[in-house]
Amino acid sequence: MAVKKGGLGRGLSALLEEMGSAAPGADPKAGASSLPVGMIDANPRQPRRHFDEVALNELADSIRIKGVLQPILVRPATEGRYEIVAGERRWRASQIAGLHEIPVVIRPFSEADGYEAAIIENVQRADLNPMEEAEGYHRLVKEYSHTQEMVAAVTGKARSHVGNLLRLLDLPDDAQALVKMGLLSVGHAKAVLQAKEPASLAKEIAARGLTVRQAEEAARKSHNAPAPKLAKSAPAQRDADLEMLESQISETLGLQVAIEARGKRGTVTIKFSDLDQLDRVIERLQG
């Protein structure tokens, strides 16, 4: 869905403000009604995949004492049921707390708009793990034809942050799992992407507890490892400045780059594993 001035393109909070449910200084329950928790279904396509049990129980304890202070946002679904657009944690915690009804704001989102709003609401939160956030951005790009600039605008994030998170999707599956578990930071992941054997470096970082700087050094060294010696042949010597330039370009693009010089001529090779990576390279080269 294209970003619209005054709509989702200004973020979910702006949309709700225009609909009368988030006006500055207004009572957060103004315009809200209540629905039985059993009539509400979770959004099957929201980015969040993990709900911390301890945090949910803490929120449930607070709800038992103070109630649900902020209504959840839902849209009409089918056969008298409603689907959550924003507020699934509150809905889950309310069930733990034993509530039979929960305050809601009902908005007539289409299915597509509801899914887009759910993604935006989730990636604006600070407690998603980086892979969940990256997957949310990716869906905005692929399913709703957003550019990275548009994603940054609707989520309130920096363009560079969006780009760095999307690069995490180029990690091997094992490395992505380590990011989800908190064993690799985004800084570690950027170093892993530069390594000759990303999966191997990811496991080494997790096993040895390497710092980001140590991981970056290991990634650089992985490209400079001596090649196996062949019979009656000596290893070729490479120009140090050329290697540094190769490393810098690899870091900028997030892809493996090889430079071969032959006198005043040569070739630059950029390796990519899928068309998404190629699209990102073309986007960067075009500025």
- Which sequence positions are flagged as catalytic? 88
Q: Is the dihedral of CA 159, 161, 167, 169 positive or negative?
A: negative
Please state, in angstroms and rounded to a whole number, the distance separating the CA atoms of residues 193 and 27: 47
Q: How many CB atoms lie within 10 A of CB 29?
A: 16
* Residue with token string 């980015």: 47
The single-letter DSSP state of residue 225 is P
Residues with Cβ within 8 Å of 214's Cβ and at least 6 positions away in sequence, in order, are: none
Helix (H, G, I), strand (E, B) or coil at 259: strand
Whether residue 152 contacts residue 163, with contact meaning beta carbons closer than 8 Å, is answered with: no
Ramachandran angles phi, psi of 164, nearest 5°:
-65, -40
